[in-house]
Amino acid sequence: MTGINASAHSKPFATLIITNAVIYTVDNERPKAEALAVIRDRIVAVGSSTEIDLWRGPETKMIDARGKLVLPGFNDAHVHFVSGGAQLDQVNLNDAANPQEFAKRIAAQASKTPKGEWVLGGRWDETKWPKPQLPTKGLVDPVTSDTPIFVERYDGHQALANAAAMKLAGVTGKTADVPGGVIVRDGSGNPTGIFKDAAQELINKAIPPMSHERRMRAARRAVEHAGSLGVTSVQHMNPEFADVAAYSELAEKGKLATRIYAVPIETSWQDQAKIGIRHSWGSTYLRLGAVKGYADGSLGSRTAYMFEPFADEPANRGLLSDEMHPESAMRARLMQADAAGLQLRIHAIGDRAISMILDIFSDIETEHGYHDQRFTIEHAQHMAEKDFARFSKLHVIASMQPYHAVDDGRWAEKRLGHRRARFSYAWHSFLDHGVTLAFGTDWPVAPLNPLLGLYAAVTRATLDGKNPDGWIPEEKITLSEAVEAYTLGSAFAEFQEHEKGSITPGKLADLVILSDNIFDLKPETIRNVKVETTIVGGKVIHGETLNR
Ligand SMILES: [Zn+2]
């Protein structure tokens, strides 16, 4: 047994023991075990049930896992945690089957919305209706009275406002269209309530900023949701500083049950640097010290920046982000942020955007030397084959979201063409090149449930059922590799591999017990597995497996 000697009475008693389990540790020193002991928030011993029983004292809480699988808690390397939490309380219109159902759900949401707040979110999809027509404010005005609503289509490119929202925004029939946007109008020129693309800003600017109370509620909801899914750590990309304040307040009250690495936008890198914050600065529950930037857009909106045009739109190679105009400005900021000791986490999806960010990382390494900076490319979706070696040589981490591959994989090849699709979501190629993978979801863009991610990584079976043996099966990875990317890999991406990511004595006691042993299942059934118990810092925060 690791970490203790034969004299059982000379050591303190465990506060918690999990026994009779199948423990998959993600620790090569001892890959499997039956039991583990925890003192307060740390794992102190991992071994056989008999060995661990020596740690038992009169006050020790015992969990009999009854042969179930125990894993390190999942660490989601890319989320938007507060917006995710806020969305849990928003109306869901996505599966509303017809306009009547759409109006009914909005009415129900409006009736429970406190005065002064807006009904937002929605993610409606009129193509699912018997007659696929855009909704109008006439559908919802009778059931919402003075509660403003602005509910978006699932793609975020258009949204429906009611009369109350338009009144608050000062939009009338006389309001002119804006460049890059459309106000949809009826026969007499009056707005129907639908605002497209840039025109959405006409309404958005009237939405009050999230109140402190609402932000706290969203943060609490997100923490609760993460706990129920076995996600014990998250890396929050582009938080507002008010989000960090909300976490801080929860932590102070002992209510922050998800460990958070907050990664604010790179354009404001000085905010962290000026007070001397460097990478992964903070407590075990809340840390700062990284910056997140954007190099390009997304494949879905054809704004991923590519070397060659999209297969289904020959005049378009995508778009660089505002931050990359000019590229030299991005390079200068990232150079300074690196000099200040901040970690760089850059969103790049198209092959050319990825390549340009690698160029910048290479320049930084030439200038400042390699000092274990842990440069990270977020998404790293569509790779140029030539760039894998560089990715590895520069020690860049690939922070990826396996669920996107089975979701977007339904249509991605049409957009990319077969040859370019080959190195899309290329987990296996990354591992072959010795690149560290950190897995996550981009929640709320994809569901937060890590079992869906593991399922996607091992099957690559697209959601439309058209690729049961995997879309680009060469890039499937093993379940062990996927679990490691979702635990130790993500911990590495936030400089915490010595604190968490495996079940190892001395590390934080962040653990999950699953309903089934995913290593024994057919890969396609992994997505049905549930997290029964979640433990963070030695405390059960979800589930009721406590036997005494
Ligand atoms: Zn994101």
Segments in the chain below pLDDT 50 = 1-8, 548
| Strands across the sheet containing 91-92 | 91-92, 119-124, 149-153, 158-161, 191-197, 181-185
pLDDT in tens, 254-285: 999 999 999 999 999 999 999 999 999 999 99
Handedness of CA 282, 284, 285, 287 (dihedral sign): positive
Q: 3 C-alpha vs ligand 1 centroid, how far in Å?
A: 40
- Residue 128 pLDDT: 86
Q: 78 C-alpha vs ligand 1 centroid, how far in Å?
A: 6
DSSP assignment letter at 443: B
Nearest CA-CA partner of 200 in 170, 161, 168: 161
Q: 536 C-alpha vs ligand 1 centroid, how far in Å?
A: 25
Q: 252 C-alpha vs ligand 1 centroid, how far in Å?
A: 27
Q: How far apart are CA 49 and CA 65, in angstroms?
A: 11
Q: How far apart are CA 17 and CA 394, in angstroms?
A: 42
- Residue 300 pLDDT: 85
Q: How far apart are CA 22 and CA 44, in angstroms?
A: 18
Q: 259 C-alpha vs ligand 1 centroid, how far in Å?
A: 18
Q: 442 C-alpha vs ligand 1 centroid, how far in Å?
A: 5
Q: 510 C-alpha vs ligand 1 centroid, how far in Å?
A: 24
Q: 79 C-alpha vs ligand 1 centroid, how far in Å?
A: 6
Q: 45 C-alpha vs ligand 1 centroid, how far in Å?
A: 37
- Residue 6 pLDDT: 44
Report the relative pairing of strands 35-39 and 42-47 from DSSP bridges: antiparallel
Per the document, the length of the chain is 548
Q: 440 C-alpha vs ligand 1 centroid, how far in Å?
A: 10
What pTM, to 2 d.p., does this model score? Answer: 0.91
Q: How far apart are CA 390 and CA 388, in angstroms?
A: 5
Bridge-partner residues for 75, per DSSP?
233
DSSP per-residue string spanning 233-282: EEEEES--HHHHHHHHHHHHTT---SEEEEE-BGGGHHHHHTTT--TTEE
- Residue 155 pLDDT: 80
Q: 443 C-alpha vs ligand 1 centroid, how far in Å?
A: 7
Peptide linkage before 326 cis (omega within 30 of 0): yes
Q: 261 C-alpha vs ligand 1 centroid, how far in Å?
A: 14
- Residue 27 pLDDT: 98
Residues near 223 by beta carbon (within 8 Å), at least 6 away in sequence: 85, 250, 255, 256, 257, 258
Q: 83 C-alpha vs ligand 1 centroid, how far in Å?
A: 11
Q: How far apart are CA 537 and CA 471, in angstroms?
A: 38
Task: Give the H or E element holding residue 177.
Answer: none
Q: 400 C-alpha vs ligand 1 centroid, how far in Å?
A: 10
- Residue 242 pLDDT: 97
* Per-residue H/E/C for 127-159: HHCCCCCCCCHHHHHHHHCCCCEEEEECCCCEE
- Residue 3 pLDDT: 46
Tokens found for residue 285: 């529950």
Give yes or no for a contact between 499 and 488, defined as CB atoms under 8 angstroms apart: no
Give yes or no for a contact between 328 and 334, defined as CB atoms under 8 angstroms apart: no
Nearest CA-CA partner of 69 in 111, 26, 38: 26
- Residue 159 pLDDT: 94
